[in-house]
Structure 1
């Protein structure tokens, strides 16, 4: 009998459009000989499965079951490919924990924590050889005095970003003091990001993104790194999703020591944050010092054919089909 997989997509934020692209690619790669896959769309308007005739069938939130063709479909595992809330911030994971449905991503606590960039940095602050850009975390109550608080503690240029956002939505690089107020307002007002803003000092370095996952045997596997080179001011939403604006080099040109250090630190980050499934760590190697600067962790990274993780999977010698099977089987085993 095939394993019934609920492939979760959609979401409550602007990142939903990326979720749909990611989930379509994952759906195309999943082994249909092993898995009976249902694409489940979770939106503010409702949770539903749309069949081949475009008929929508509502998910029963009591137990996440689906009444379809006269039968009740109960899923064996949820494969979460939902960027932003509620799939990346722990809300959906908490619900699945309550009804006893295994899932492929990090736990509710880890997902919630890692959506908060400032809190994540605090947890990682004492890892040897891991460096963190100097930063200020602002809450809504700081909005009026935000400019003063930043200028007292940080030196230009700054990166200003929603503390709980993704896909670089609401993010600005500030090179002159006159632009800080507008950048703070943009970040505070980014939709569904909690009205918290993280401001960091700029790190001048090469930018990388590198995936890691736990396989069905319980082993941590770090994928080859991708170096990101963009013609934009920084790797913003347009650079991420507009063809031709970014060069992505996989595997990245890193020497043996840099590769070994990155693997060691990424594993430590994964363990320290109690991650599960696949995650992606973004980091800089500072030009003058070669220090490893943590940028952020993404617990549900993009999965389009051009996304970093699929690139890295292919570079490692695996197929996406085999990789996604590993994630499902690891989730079923409780890893």
Structure 2
């Protein structure tokens, strides 16, 4: 009997358009002989199932069911394709845990922790994970530009603490430009992180639960045509994403060991994609994404393809792994 799968997409953040693209890729890739797939849009003002004619049917939040032509549809599993809040920060994970619904991403705690860059880096430091020098600001804090420059140097990166897809991020070269960049980051979040610029090879590595094992995917080298790996570089073709990465065997081994260690130390499930920059021949962690992009152009599907895993198999495995819990 076919399983009914709700693919949740959209969300409450600036990443909702990318999430809709990811969700539709999953919808089109799932094996229709094995699954009945339903596209579910999650927005602040509505949770709705959207059929192929773009007709909307409200989701009952009590049990995450939907009434279609007087027939109640319940789901066997949820495929999480929401980038940003509430799909990547723990809220949807907590909701599905409460109602007993299997879902494909990591748990509530892991999602909440990894979505908060400051907390993630602080948690991993005692485990020997190297990170860039950083300075934290909360909305309303006094801004001491001299202290910031003394701590992280110039140039530096100013980032919204809880945002993805490079929203709310700036690279700053001059002290007099700090305030405008800080204001830009505060548009996305009320917490920001200011990080030392690391000048080195940037790589991205996917780690997934695959057939019951932790699997590290082939590493991608990021070469941005822009000043850094920003929104244009990620989604508008302004970068080269080279898989497998053109790095030494030593770099490759160090990165694979570290990415797997992070995944298992945090007790992750589902997909993850970790970003690193090499400094003095050592990988420094930038961030961990738990609902990475799933479009045809996205990094994790590229890595899966290099590993011989098709989109259909990648998504099918995610559902199978979720159903084991």
Answering whether residue 287 of structure 2 is matched by residue 328 of structure 1, we say no
Answering whether residue 30 of structure 2 is matched by residue 26 of structure 1, we say no
Unaligned runs of 5+ in 1: none
How much has 1:13 moved relative to structure 2?
Answer: 1.2
CA distance in 2, matches of 1:132, 1:47: 38
Unaligned runs of 5+ in 2: none
Matches within 5 A, 1:138-177: 138-142=137-141, 144-177=142-175
My pick for the range that moved more, 311-320 or 255-264, is: 255-264
Matches within 5 A, 1:52-201: 52-128=52-128, 130-142=129-141, 144-190=142-188, 193=189, 195-201=190-196
Answering whether residue 199 of structure 2 is matched by residue 204 of structure 1, we say yes
Number of equivalent positions: 325
My pick for the range that moved more, 198-207 or 245-254, is: 245-254
CA distance in 2, matches of 1:82, 1:177: 36
Contact kept? 2:130, 2:284, Cα under 8 Å: yes
How much has 1:327 moved relative to structure 2?
Answer: 0.7
Matches within 5 A, 1:238-317: 238-243=232-237, 245-286=238-279, 289-317=280-308
Q: Which residue in the other structure is 1:47 paired with?
A: 47
CA distance in 2, matches of 1:188, 1:6: 33
Q: Provide the secondary structure at the position in 2 that maps to 1:247.
A: strand
Q: Provide the secondary structure at the position in 2 that maps to 1:137.
A: strand
Q: Provide the secondary structure at the position in 2 that maps to 1:48.
A: strand
Contact kept? 1:123, 1:273, Cα under 8 Å: no
Contact kept? 2:39, 2:51, Cα under 8 Å: no
Q: Provide the secondary structure at the position in 1 that maps to 2:118.
A: helix
How much has 1:11 moved relative to structure 2?
Answer: 0.6
Contact kept? 2:158, 2:172, Cα under 8 Å: yes
Q: Provide the secondary structure at the position in 2 that maps to 1:260.
A: helix
How much has 1:109 moved relative to structure 2?
Answer: 1.1
Q: Which residue in the other structure is 2:310 paired with?
A: 319
CA distance in 2, matches of 1:188, 1:146: 16
Query: Residues 148 and 141 (structure 1 numbering): CA distance in 2 closer, same or farther, change over 3 Å?
Result: farther
How much has 1:207 moved relative to structure 2?
Answer: 0.7
CA distance in 2, matches of 1:307, 1:174: 27
2:225 to 219, 223, 231: 231
Q: Provide the secondary structure at the position in 1 that maps to 2:185.
A: helix
Normalising by structure 2, what TM-score?
0.97
Question: 1:134-159 CA deviation, whole Å, 9 max, x = no partner?
Answer: 001111232x3253441342211110
CA distance in 1, matches of 2:70, 2:178: 58
CA distance in 2, matches of 1:257, 1:114: 27
Question: 1:170-222 CA deviation, whole Å, 9 max, x = no partner?
Answer: 100011111111111111122xx3x00000000010111110111232x1000
Q: Provide the secondary structure at the position in 2 that maps to 1:49.
A: strand
CA distance in 1, matches of 2:28, 2:278: 35
Aligned-residue RMSD, C-alpha: 1.2
Contact kept? 1:283, 1:293, Cα under 8 Å: yes
Query: Residues 328 and 187 (structure 1 numbering): CA distance in 2 closer, same or farther, change over 3 Å?
Result: same
